[in-house]
Amino acid sequence: MSAIHELQPHALWQHFSAICDIPHPSFHEEQIREHLIGFAKEHNLEWQSDAVGNVIIRKNATPGMENRVGVIFQGHMDMVPQKNNDTVHDFPTDPIKAYIDGDWVTAEGTTLGADNGIGMAAALAVLAAKDLHHGPIEALFTATEETGMIGAQGLQSGILDGKILLNLDTEDEGELYIGCAGGTRIEVNGEYATETLVDNFVSVFHHTN
Ligand SMILES: [Zn+2]
């Protein structure tokens, strides 16, 4: 069994492994934000953060590609913190223990945070790459997506120059979104009758049918 950071493509999994080590549940995104800003500084990339905690990192076009349409990679910083009942884990402080189980990368007793850690890792791998030819790139890492899309809602209009946005936040392999430029949240109020829980699932299923 090889460690996560040894998987291929190497750069992608190295960044993902590093992200797993940094606690980043929703509303506790300071450390991951610092990690992204530190990455930008280390790679001499222009960066900015805004009032709602989004981070944007910019990478110039490679020589000869300056006139290409700019591409934006978008992902979010936070993850859903869920754990098994018998797992002791404090999401704001403890790293995710990712491991390889057959064909899968998973985590010991908790959510892995592949949503959207792998999206962030993909963007960072491109930003760090020295062997790619590309036009201007902007990576937008939005804050607190899982609980209200706070970063996306608070993003200042006109802050991005790119015209093509690649949303890196989907986890269904083999499916391609041709458009998801927005989202909505609907609050529904209603009443329902309760019934006593019976002792196994099959009988509940038959009962309600
Ligand atoms: Zn997501």
Annotated catalytic residue within 29, 115, 138, 145: 145
Domains defined for the chain, CATH in brackets: 4-184 (3.40.630.10)
Q: Active site includes 46?
A: no
Using a pLDDT cut of 70, give the percent of the chain over it: 91
Residue predicted with more confidence, 173 or 58: 58
Give residue 174 CA to ligand 1 midpoint distance, Å.
17
Give residue 77 CA to ligand 1 midpoint distance, Å.
9
Let me know how long the chain is: 209
Give residue 10 CA to ligand 1 midpoint distance, Å.
23
Model confidence pLDDT, tens digit, residues 97-128 = 999 999 999 999 999 999 999 999 999 999 99
Using a pLDDT cut of 90, give the percent of the chain over it: 79
Amino acid 200: pLDDT: 59
Amino acid 150: pLDDT: 94
Amino acid 185: pLDDT: 72
Average pLDDT, the chain: 91
Radius of gyration of the chain (CA): 20
> Distance between CA atoms of 166 and 182, rounded to whole angstroms?
13
Q: Active site includes 101?
A: no
Annotated catalytic residue within 29, 78, 115, 138: 78
Give residue 115 CA to ligand 1 midpoint distance, Å.
5
Look at the block and give the residue holding tokens 């990679």: 73
Average pLDDT over every residue of 28-47? 98
Give residue 119 CA to ligand 1 midpoint distance, Å.
9
Residues sharing a CB contact under 8 Å with residue 46, sequence separation 6 or more, in sequence order? 40, 57, 58
> Distance between CA atoms of 60 and 66, rounded to whole angstroms?
8
Task: Pick the closest to residue 129 from 49, 43, 8 (CA basis).
Answer: 43
